[in-house]
Amino acid sequence: MALDNTWYTEQWAGQGSAISLKLKDKVHDEQSPYQRIEIYETETFGTLMTLDGLVMVTDRDNFVYHEMMSHPALFTHPDPKRVLVIGGGDCGTLREVLRHKTVQLAEQVELDERVTRVSEKFFPELCQSNADPRAKLHFADGIEWAAKAAPGSYDVIIIDSTDPVGPAAGLFSEIFYKNCFRALSADGVVVGQSESPLFHADLIVSVQKAFKGAGFGSVATLQFPQCTYPSGWWSCMLARKQGSATDFRRRDAEAKGFATRYYNAAIHAAASAMPQFLAEQLHV
């Protein structure tokens, strides 16, 4: 029953469980200044990128994550023009952001330039909007970027981070969210990935608390499936400076004028329904 070494396996940290993907080949392996970047061709999930041995993206299922990290926030803001993506080095979120015609500037601040360069080579579809004149790719520390950003300089901030350990831990802190709050315009919306409802409910509760502590008036957790992330069930948290985090431009979402594979207006409205155990912990 054990899998041989033709499988890639990620043990879900502390959860006594693991996912495995059958491999065809390993096509890239490098140690960047920040982490080990590996690329595999899998049998049924297309290309796979791992960072320090953790699944970041596969061809087959990244659409759910990237669409849910972008479109709900952008259809929540009344008129998003200036968007900041923190992390997101595979550029899949950036691509989705740029589908919105209101967007005039989409800045991506990724710590590790190698993640983006490797993605450009192995995930050309995700990077297909990198040359969009509205896109600006920076390779810098997102925490410092938010701290130094001019007040009110962004309409939407998307925190497309890795897990809350190592360099990404600061992206789940109240002080960072306070800097996001300050960097956002009056109608500003922020969204951050917030791990698994099944495995990390405590983290979800702490992120909600930190967003509220940072001054955001309304916070909503959105849930969605994500096969290759721990437990196969994922979430992001969306917060607004003013207005309800569950209100959105439904009519615009229904007439969005670009293709999606997971997101639509009904999915957007549904994603904030919370499982009973999580509703009780979040007091929603």
Distance CA 54, CA 38 (A): 10
Burial of 166 (0-12, 13-18, 19+ CB in 10 A): exposed
Task: Compute the least distance from the CB of residue 73 to a second copy, in Å.
Answer: 18
Q: CB nearer to a second copy: give 3 or 165.
A: 3
Q: CB nearer to a second copy: give 1 or 150.
A: 1
Q: CB nearer to a second copy: give 28 or 148.
A: 28
The catalytic residue among 59, 61, 90, 160 is 160
Task: Compute the least distance from the CB of residue 258 to a second copy, in Å.
Answer: 11
Buried b (16+ CB within 10 A) or exposed e, 87-123: bbbbbbbbbbbbbbeebeebbbbbbbbbbbbbbeebb
Q: Distance of CA 140 to CAs 84, 112, 144, 148, 262, Å?
A: 13, 8, 8, 12, 31
Distance CA 88, CA 181 (A): 20
Task: Compute the least distance from the CB of residue 57 to a second copy, in Å.
Answer: 15
Q: CB nearer to a second copy: give 16 or 257.
A: 16
What residue ranges bind a second copy (CB under 8 A)?
A: 1-5, 7-9, 11, 14-22, 42-45, 53, 60-61, 64, 197-198, 223, 225-227, 231-233, 260-264, 266-267, 269-271, 273-277, 279
4 Cβ contact partners less than 8 Å away, ≥ 6 residues apart = none
Q: CB nearer to a second copy: give 14 or 133.
A: 14
Q: CB nearer to a second copy: give 50 or 185.
A: 50
Q: Distance of CA 32 to CAs 29, 98, 166, Å?
A: 10, 28, 15
Helix axes 201-213, 174-183, angle to 10 degrees: 50
281 Cβ contact partners less than 8 Å away, ≥ 6 residues apart = 201, 204, 205
Task: Compute the least distance from the CB of residue 42 to a second copy, in Å.
Answer: 6
> How big is the chain by its Cα radius of gyration, in Å?
18
Task: Compute the least distance from the CB of residue 158 to a second copy, in Å.
Answer: 20
Task: Compute the least distance from the CB of residue 277 to a second copy, in Å.
Answer: 5
160 assigned to active site: yes
Which alpha helices (DSSP H) does the chain contain, by range? 62-76, 92-97, 113-122, 142-148, 174-183, 201-213, 250-254, 265-271, 276-282
Active-site positions read: 160
